[in-house]
A = this chain, B = another copy of it.
Amino acid sequence: MQNFVFHNPTKIIFGKKTIPSIGPETLLWGNKCLLLYGGGSIKKNDVYGQVTSSLKETGLEIIEHGGVQSNPLLSHVKQGIDKVKAHNIDVVVAVGGGSVLDSGKAICAGAVVNHDVWKFFTGKKSIKRALPMTAVLTLAASGSEMNSGMVVTHDETRGKFGFGNKLLFPKVSILDPEATYTVPADYTAYGAVDAMAHVLEYYMTTEDPATPVQDRFMEGLIINAMDSCDRCLANPHDYNARADLMWTATLALNGLTGAGLGRVGFPMHMIEHSLSALYDVPHGAGLSVIIPGWLRWHSMQDANKIIQLGSRIFNFELRGIEPAAHTTIKILENWFTRINTPIRLAEFDVPPGDIPVIAGNALRLAKIWRLNQYSQQTIEEILALCL
C-alpha cells in the first residue's frame, strides 16, 4: 500500500424526506445564497419547491442561477461568478446532478479571485480559498457530492478539463433517493456506468504493491452498481434500488477507493471527455463505449486485474488468461447492452475518420493529467477498438 492522506469532511445526509434540511444546513455558512440548478427538471419533481421553501423558511436570501447544461460550460460558470460578486453572496446551493455540483464548485473557486477561473483548470493558478457550497443531489452518477473535484467544458476550445482542491468539498450533501425516481431510464443507466467507470479507473491501476482491502471494496461497488441499476430500471420507484445506486455512486469517488493506490490516472475519462466535448454525448454513454475498448487494449498489456475482477464477481470458470479477460469484458459489454447504453462509436454516428481528431483533443488532457504513456497513436489504437 502506498502512503496516503484521507480527509473527507463532507457531511452526508441520506434518506427519505431529508431535503428540507437544506435551509438550516446552508444557514450555517451564510445568509445569502446562489441557488444553482439545471434545465428545470427539479421544478417538475418538486425538488425545487422543497429546496426554496426550506431556504426561505430559514430566512435565506436567494439569487437564482438556473440553466446548467450536462457537460457544463465555462461561460455559464462565469455568469454565476459574476452574480456572486454582484450580490455579495455567501454560499452556493447546488441542486442537481454532477454537472450542477461541478459548476457550483467552479463558481465557489472563481468567486473569490479576480483572474479567469479557467486558470485553475489549466493549472496556471492554484486555489487559496473558496466560497462554501451545500448541495442537494438529484442524480446518482458523478460522486461530486462527496469529493473535491469538478469537470467543466471550455465553450470555444471544447477542452473538457477537471481539477480538484480540498477547499471544494461540499460542506453538506443531501441525498434523497426519492428525488431520483423521475430520472429516465437512459440517464439512470448512464449514471450507473459513470459510477462503475470511476471504480474501474482505480481498480485497473496496476502499481505495485497490491491493495487487497481496496480491491474487495471496489469489487463490491461494481457488483452493486450493476445490480442496483438493473433494479432501478425494472422499477424506477423501488426506493432501495435507488438508494443502493445513489450510495454506490457516492462511495465510488469519495477518495476511499483510491486511498493507498498511489498515483492513479483516469485514462478512460481522458478519452471520453474528448468524445463528449466534441459530440456532446452524455458522459455515461461515452464511457460505456470507451470502457470495453480500453479494457481490450489494456488486457493486451496486463490482463491480471481484469481476470481478478471477472473471476471474483462474475463467478465464471477460468479457461486461460486470454479467454478469462475476454469473458469479463464480454459480460460487461452484455450488461451495457442490457441496460441500453451504447458500446460502439458508430452508435453516436461518429465516423472512423474522426478518430485522429478525437485522439488529438484527448491528448491535450493526457498531457495536463500527466498520462504520459498515452500518445496520439495509442489513443487512436484504443479508439479503433471502440469501433
Give A residues with C-beta under 8 Å from B. Answer: 1-16, 18, 177, 209-213, 215-217, 219-221, 223-224, 227-228, 240, 243-244, 247-248, 251, 256, 259-260
Are B14 and A259 within 8 A (Cβ)? Answer: yes
B2, B6, B177, B243: the one contacting A11 at CB < 8 Å is B6
**Copies per assembly:** 2
Given contacts A1-B243, A5-B13, A6-B11, contact A219 B221 (CB under 8 A): no
Question: What residues of chain B lie closer than 8 Å to A224, measured between beta carbons?
Answer: 212-213, 216
Question: What residues of chain B lie closer than 8 Å to A223, measured between beta carbons?
Answer: 212, 216
Question: What residues of chain B lie closer than 8 Å to A6, measured between beta carbons?
Answer: 11-12, 14
**In the complex, residue of chain B having the shortest beta-carbon distance to the beta carbon of A3:** B15
**In the complex, residue of chain B having the shortest beta-carbon distance to the beta carbon of A213:** B224
Q: Report which residue of A4, A216, A248 has the largest number of chain B beta carbons within 10 angstroms of its beta carbon.
A: A216
Are A213 and B14 within 8 A (Cβ)? Answer: no
> What is the distance, in angstroms, from A9's C-beta to the closest C-beta of chain B?
5
B9, B219, B260: the one contacting A243 at CB < 8 Å is B260
How far does the alpha carbon of A303 sit from the alpha carbon of B9 in the complex, in Å?
Answer: 38
Pairs A–B under 8 Å by Cβ, sample size 11: A1-B14, A3-B15, A5-B14, A6-B14, A7-B11, A212-B228, A213-B221, A213-B228, A216-B220, A217-B251, A243-B260
Given contacts A4-B15, A14-B6, contact A213 B244 (CB under 8 A): yes
B5, B216, B220: the one contacting A213 at CB < 8 Å is B220
> What is the distance, in angstroms, from A285's C-beta to the closest C-beta of chain B?
24
B7, B18, B247: the one contacting A12 at CB < 8 Å is B7
How far does the alpha carbon of A9 sit from the alpha carbon of B247 in the complex, in Å?
Answer: 19
Are A244 and B1 within 8 A (Cβ)? Answer: yes
> What is the distance, in angstroms, from A218's C-beta to the closest C-beta of chain B?
9
